[in-house]
Amino acid sequence: MLSHEAQANNNLKVIFIPLSSKSHMMPLVDMARLFSMHGVDTTIVATADNAEIFQKSIDRDFSHGQSIKTHVLEFPTEQVKLPVGNETNTDTPRNLTPKIHEDFVIVQKQIENYLLGLGELEVDCIVSDLCYHGTAEAATKLGIRRIVFTPASVISRCAELWFEQHTAHTEVESDSNKFTIVGFPHKLEMTRSQLPCWMRKPTMFGRIMKVLNDSSRRSYGAVFNSFHSLEGAYEEHYKNAFGTKCWSLGPVSSWVNQDVSDKAERGHKKVEEEEDEDGDLFKWLNSKKENSVIYVCFGSVNKLSTSQLIEIAHALEASSHDFIWVVRKNNDKEGEDEGFMEEFEKRVKESNKGYLIWGWAPQLLILENKAIGAIVTHCGWSTATESINIGLPMVTWPLFADQFFNEKMLVDVLKIGVSVGAKEWRNYDEFGSEVVKRNEIEKAIRLVMENGKEAEEMRLRAKSLSDDAKKAILVGGSSHANLTLLIEELKSLKLQRLNANKPN
């Protein structure tokens, strides 16, 4: 049954447009479900292949009385470059990644055509991924507002503009010299090698980012998977820097994925045999002592070079802690390891020390298991917020996208993480040249997992932030209040629009 508040919100129609990439799609689908939980009439636009990833949750929400549906976008198979079923870059072979960009243009056009074909009463607001910049113009033509979504942290979006306007990073002598980001709420030091390539020198991607940032500035505001105690200072900074509104509505995954099925299936089209695999995994995990296992995962898209996998394997074996490691299959030529990983898996299985997941892990269920004591993470923002929600300290190992900025937040500002000392930013589909050595990885793991004073204090801070995360989504909490205000604001904008369009 919908609450009275939810019933009153029912007339507001919001369309959500996630990007065809799991890490962008999952938190925006969570947000769409959040709006519908609060009574907003919600439509998610996706291609059939992408819709399959989240449709079961939408069907469950619908069966609970929520007004939520998916609009399946026609994927013009005769025009697109990728084989059908490869629309998300998680599963797309590396040699096909350039095609994702070509297909993106086609899909963006389909989205715009769909939006522009809608009638006045069919949509009141568009919440679309940062990458679909064309939706800003479509919203203007429809006389409605576009709100921009990015799965990134607020701090990293603030940094995006900072590097457009400042030159401190170009003035240091080398890529490894530190410079300071001035004017931020905290004093942050970085090196040039940790910056995304488009911030270091002009690139084609930099020109694209400029287009996306300009379209953010032309949007009504931005929604983030964050919360006030986590990034409040940067919310204010964002509003000033972009000159738009901004609402933190997180952590979204714990807010909407309260059902075990939602948690187990999030981000993955499960096939039947995998149910058994998950059964084995949780049998193993449940046999372990509280806080005794470290969870190692580098997100939904990353692949690591074979030499890096070998260093991680040695570090995990040498550390005295049990572990779960989510390993992506390395299908490239560089992936030849002469049976190393197979041997390693066999050994750690026999000794009952480790559990390898080859592919997709039910991360939300793993993180909340009592046996997990900490996480080794690439600092992807969704994983960061999911771990913060549970109160896990982290070993931080940023690789690409906004991850080096997120590491600054986790290690330097919040002091809930220990860095492995990664120095080199690379693209998500590249291995990069840096190989973090086994002793560095092992040292960081020991520091977060063992009982030293530093680890103890880190755990207390992580626990306190977890309490804040949980309060943020309750009535009276900051994210709950932001969502309520945003819905009210959109309802009043709708009324204004309809009144203005009324014939005299």
Cα dihedral across residues 140, 144, 150, 154: positive or negative: positive
Give the separation between CA 156 and CA 160, rounded to whole angstroms. 6
Site for ligand UDP in 80-139 (CB under 6 A): none
Give the separation between CA 432 and CA 448, rounded to whole angstroms. 26
Give the separation between CA 66 and CA 58, rounded to whole angstroms. 9
Q: Is the peptide bond before 503 cis (omega within 30 degrees of 0)?
A: no
Binding pattern to ligand UDP, positions 312-351, x when CB under 6 A? --------------x-------------------------
Of the two residues 281 and 490, which places its CB atom closer to ligand UDP in the complex? 281
Q: Does 406 interact with ligand UDP (rule: CB under 6 A)?
A: no
Q: Is 399 helix (H, G, I), strand (E, B) or coil?
A: coil
Query: Residues touching ligand UDP: how many (CB under 6 A)?
Result: 20
Determine whether 24 is an active site residue.
yes
Of the two residues 151 and 354, which places its CB atom closer to ligand UDP in the complex? 151
Closest CA to 392 of 287, 476, 464, 470: 464
The residue nearest ligand UDP at its CB is 380
**Identity of the amino acid at 294:** I
Of the two residues 138 and 473, which places its CB atom closer to ligand UDP in the complex? 473
Give the separation between CA 185 and CA 237, rounded to whole angstroms. 8
Q: CB–CB of 82/96 below 8 Å?
A: yes
Instruction: Pick from 18, 134, 380, 393 the residue near ligand UDP by CB under 6 A.
Output: 380
List, as one string, the DSSP characters of 348-376.
Answer: HHHTT-EEEEES---HHHHHTSTTEEEEE
Shortest distance, position 27 Cβ to ligand UDP, whole Å: 7
Q: Which of 49, 61, 124, 129 is catalytic?
A: 129
Q: What is the H or E stretch that residue 69 is in?
A: strand 68-73
Binding pattern to ligand UDP, positions 245-284, x when CB under 6 A? ---------------------xx-----------------
Q: Which residues contact 201 (CB under 8 A, 6 or more apart)?
A: none
Instruction: Pick from 128, 363, 387, 482 the residue near ligand UDP by CB under 6 A.
Output: 363
Q: Does 405 interact with ligand UDP (rule: CB under 6 A)?
A: no
| DSSP at 419 | E
Binding pattern to ligand UDP, positions 21-60, x when CB under 6 A? --x--x----------------------------------
Shortest distance, position 385 Cβ to ligand UDP, whole Å: 8
Site for ligand UDP in 128-167 (CB under 6 A): 151
Q: What tokens does 393 get?
A: 């300290």
Of the two residues 22 and 192, which places its CB atom closer to ligand UDP in the complex? 22
Active site residues: 24, 129
